Amino acid sequence: MIDAPRCRHGLAGWAPVAAFALAASVASTAFAAPPRSAAGAAAAKAPMPAGIVLDGPYHGRSDVFAFGGHGEVRFGHDRERGIENPEWLSFPRLEAFALARIHRRAQLVVDAAYDRTMDQLILERGLIDVRVAPSWSVHAGVMLPPLGRANREHQSPRAEFSDRSLVASDLVGAPVSMFGIGIHGLRGGAGLPAMTYELDIVNGYDDGVVTEASPGTRIPSGRNSAGDNNGMPALAGRLAIRPHPGSEYGVAAYTGQYNTTEVEGATVDDARYLHMTVLDATTMVSGFRVSGEAGLAIIDIPPALRAIFPEQQWGAAVEVSRGLFRPLIAAWRTSSLSLAIRGDAVDFDRTIPGDSRSRLTAALNIRPSDRAVVRGQWFYEVTRDRFDNDAPAAGVAASGAIYF
């Protein structure tokens, strides 16, 4: 039997240090409006105003009215503990959006999606964004809080894999939509690294983190965009540095009360908080695109439940990809072939050997154009229960995604 890869005690030590170092490097820089690339080096030199920027294909005009979307279909065959589990047809993600400029400084954005992680159609974004100054904006409504880059960006035709990493899906619970208000903006320029920032006040996760999580503490079970179960807002924020085009290093943090403390005027529990830190990075190294993310969560659990519901969880993922041919077919100038490999793991309870999940995935991606991708994918995964019993699984899949 192949054991799952494990790194149980490293993250708690280096995550706060890395977060502090990144925040310190940002704080030590003077800032102005940074550039943003839309189509090459010339566009990268132009200042980018604050506001919502459409970084994928769309129809219409982004300064008046724009709309678009993307969809993905998957054919797969998995085997767990020797038992076949064919999934002949599924739709991992279907998303549609519309953006309307209702004032020279204000935009209205509606973004609805079906995501297999949520297994339902949800309103991911329904907000108004108002540009207060050239470098920052205020937004309010239903939003995707900045809980790491993966919660904000997962366009299926652009992604190398059909699934998010385990850090995003099993630890953070991406996609996570919440109701709230916040600010976001960008600084940098004049030869200094560009920086983006966002700070949101949101309704936060609810007590489903415990009450809806049968295997133990599960943060994704507390996703809630409809309201607040305790009357106390949560805070979510992210800082990201872009030292040069194609590279970004970000640190995100979340803190908020998750439980209900009063029922019909009677106090039923003390206030209990969920804290989370997510680090993410992407850059180019010798022609390879290297991306990574790591997350650490600390959950305040009632003493009577701590034997079953863990208080500390963490995870990490590393993804390496490289373009092999471009163009793949001479007549299709934007066609390409790329190879990607990702290793990721989550540990739901740092105090015991089990209660974890690890996975290795490889994908070969054919893009007939920048608007579509066809993938061949293989994975091997090991899930361990709280008694450290392992359940290995493996599978292959073919998927396709396209902008429309």
The residue count of the chain comes to 404
Number of Cβ within 10 Å of residue 20's Cβ equals: 11
* pTM for this model (two decimals): 0.84
pLDDT confidence tier of residue 228, bands split at 50, 70 and 90? confident
Residue 402 pLDDT greater than 80, yes or no: yes
List the single range of 22-26, 76-80, 247-251 with lowest mean pLDDT.
Answer: 22-26
Contacts of residue 272, defined as CB under 8 A and 6 or more positions apart, other chains included, come to 257, 258, 259, 299, 300, 301, 302
pLDDT confidence tier of residue 226, bands split at 50, 70 and 90? confident
| 86 or 111, which is more confident | 111
Tell me what the pLDDT averaged over the chain comes to.
86
Residue 109 pLDDT greater than 70, yes or no: yes
Residue 316 pLDDT greater than 70, yes or no: yes
Range 200-226 average pLDDT: 91
Residue 34 pLDDT greater than 70, yes or no: no
Residue 48 pLDDT greater than 80, yes or no: no
> What is the per-residue pLDDT for 152?
83
Residue 328 pLDDT greater than 50, yes or no: yes
Residue 55 pLDDT greater than 60, yes or no: yes
> What is the per-residue pLDDT for 366?
97
- Strand-pair category, 178-189 with 136-143: antiparallel
Q: Between the CA of residue 317 and those of 371, 372, 383, 392, what are the distances in Å?
A: 26, 25, 16, 19
CB burial readout 238-277, b (16+ within 10 A) else e: bbbbbeeeebbbbbbbbebbbbbbeeeeeeeeeebebebb
pLDDT in tens, 112-154: 999 988 888 899 999 999 999 989 999 999 999 999 988 888 8
